[in-house]
Chain A
Amino acid sequence: MGGQAVKLVLERVGHAFLGRAVLEDFDLALTDGEVVALIGPSGCGKTTILQIAAGLLDPLRGRVRRHYRRHAVVFQEPRLLPWLAARDNIAYGLRMNGIARDLRAAMVAQRAQDVGLSAHDLDKYPAELSGGMRQRVAVARALAVRPDMVYFDEPFTAVDVGLKRILQDLVIEAAAREQFSALFVTHDLSEAVRVAHRLVLLPRRADGTIVERAIAGEPGRRSERAIFALVEAWSADPAFRELFDGRESLH
């Protein structure tokens, strides 16, 4: 972990959709360079928290304080512009930030290399890329704006297991290299244990208890065996039971 400066604070945040409370009095603080995994069963409001933190959704109650320069979001779907080649998709965030065209090219090339895209792939349109490649482009687009806070919203749910690992390693590497803080929403406990410093488990119901656990070691330095053992141990933990009972929340 980097310094202890606080990057993001959510204070007593509450939200409801059509009168149904999904979130009540939720508090969260992220420090500099910290990666927090937000985990919970489906329908527990983890994506809502991410959207509120990223300013895509205004909370009904509570407040959000952001102490960072710039953020970026990696969504569950790649959300690429189908009419732009991969190169221009990666440059999209830079363009929105008003970076001149000739400066963008070098940044794009660098990011493409970081996420393992070849120069040849950069000229392809999203329709010509595989699912994994598209998500790589999405990650490159987010990293290209040099964010000091990145929001990941179940980014690797749709890719196969082997590729998932590669993409997770890519995120871990980038976080260590660029020292950004990140909120990583996932429903996969082993993914959370692999990428994060700390884990926040949301209950299914808004009035349930929130569980917080620190994960020993640095992301990327934990052995596969340690990750597996921790996931195994937590699977048996009653606090994590809701994550595995497979029921959708009852509305």
Chain B
Amino acid sequence: MAFFGWAGRYLWSAWAGACGLLCIAAAWQGAHEFYGSFILPSPLETLREVAVILPEPWFVRAAGETAIRSLTGFALAVGIGTLTGAVAGYSFAAMRLMRPVVTVILGVPPIAWIVLALIWFGSSGGSAVMTVVVAALPISFAGGLEGVATRDRALDAMARSFGAGVWLRFRTLTVPHLISYLFPAWTTTAGTAWKVTVMAELLSNTGGIGGELATARALFDIPRVMALIVAVVAFALLTEYALLHPLRDRLERWREAGLPWGVKR
């Protein structure tokens, strides 16, 4: 029952999100009226094109390829980044050493990684995955590191006073605290994963939505370019709002309790 109440409220809150999206659509329509269909197809034309390409087998295959690559990249980046970040958070020396490393890796533009990945992996899906991992890993790493480093030592002392061992303290104190640091990192990573995958595919011409985008561009098929862009954005939105946000809401229900207007479970 509580679950349905929560699900209902979550879906209802989508109205606010829809309003924001419709504002973008309005601006888009305005720009379309000004520049004309050849430069910028209207939202409606684009949606029609989306409806046309969605059932086509080539699109399903391309979207599947892109999805698998970005999910693999996401899983690897989040897994490795979180784990190493959390471990580094326990050691001041590792923290000091890794901070500049993270800054350097974040400072290298993803496009440069794509060039390197192309040289190392050739034109295969591997270069897209590697680019996603390298571009997204530092964010998860930083999240894990900050989460562990800022854990509440007062709570730690409290748990030790009850004789809790290292593992129990990690599980009951550090992990819940860590999660609040990891979610922003994960949502950013999820968004980055889609974008970087498409970019890498486009540049390395390795199929997927990026490959289709390159073809559509070569044919000057502007509605199709727009339709593909809309599809990618929709995928990114879906990952974030259908997967990550509900998960976060479920895990962090206690935060809601502290809100001043007191919307309770």
User: DSSP majority for the A interface?
Assistant: loop
Contacts A81-B173, A96-B168 given; does A73 touch B158 at CB 8 Å:
yes
Contacts A73-B158, A81-B172, A83-B176 given; does A128 touch B163 at CB 8 Å:
no
Check B27 for interface membership: any CB of A closer than 8 A. no
A124 near B158: Cβ-Cβ < 8 Å: no
Contacts A81-B173, A83-B176 given; does A96 touch B164 at CB 8 Å:
yes
User: DSSP majority for the B interface?
Assistant: helix
CB proximity of A8 to chain B, nearest CB, Å: 15
Inside 8 A of B157's CB, which chain A residues have their CB?
Answer: 56, 75, 79
Contacts A79-B155, A83-B176 given; does A128 touch B160 at CB 8 Å:
no
CB proximity of B175 to chain A, nearest CB, Å: 10
Q: How far is the CA of A207 from the CA of B257 in the complex (A)?
A: 50
Inside 8 A of A56's CB, which chain B residues have their CB?
Answer: 157, 160-161
A71 near B161: Cβ-Cβ < 8 Å: yes
Pick the contact of A83: B154, B160, B252 (CB < 8 A): B252
Q: How far is the CA of A85 from the CA of B258 in the complex (A)?
A: 12
Query: Which B136-188 residues have a C-beta within 8 angstroms of A?
Result: 154-155, 157-164, 168, 172-173, 176
* Size bracket, chain A contacts: 20 to 34
Inside 8 A of B160's CB, which chain A residues have their CB?
Answer: 55-56
Check B6 for interface membership: any CB of A closer than 8 A. no
A96 near B163: Cβ-Cβ < 8 Å: yes
Check B254 for interface membership: any CB of A closer than 8 A. yes
A77 near B172: Cβ-Cβ < 8 Å: no
Query: Which A4-62 residues have a C-beta within 8 angstroms of B?
Result: 54-56
Chain B window 222-265, contacts with chain A (Cβ cutoff 8 Å), 1 for yes, 0 for no: 00000000000000000000000000000010100110001010
CB proximity of A74 to chain B, nearest CB, Å: 9
Q: Which residue of A lies closest to B179 (CB)?
A: A83
B155 near A84: Cβ-Cβ < 8 Å: no
Q: How far is the CA of A128 from the CA of B256 in the complex (A)?
A: 10
A127 near B163: Cβ-Cβ < 8 Å: no
Q: How far is the CA of A125 from the CA of B253 in the complex (A)?
A: 10
Contacts A81-B155, A81-B173 given; does A125 touch B162 at CB 8 Å:
no
Contacts A83-B254, A125-B254, A128-B257 given; does A54 touch B161 at CB 8 Å:
yes
In order of increasing CB-CB distance, the 10 nearest A-B pairs are A127-B258, A125-B257, A73-B161, A96-B162, A96-B164, A79-B158, A83-B254, A93-B162, A83-B176, A125-B254
* CB pairs A–B below 8 angstroms (27 shown): A54-B161, A55-B161, A56-B157, A56-B160, A71-B161, A72-B161, A73-B158, A75-B154, A75-B157, A77-B154, A79-B155, A79-B157, A81-B176, A82-B258, A83-B252, A83-B254, A96-B159, A96-B162, A96-B163, A96-B164, A96-B172, A97-B163, A125-B258, A127-B258, A128-B262, A128-B264, A151-B161
By a beta-carbon cutoff of 8 Å, the part of chain B in contact with chain A is 154-155, 157-164, 168, 172-173, 176, 252, 254, 257-258, 262, 264
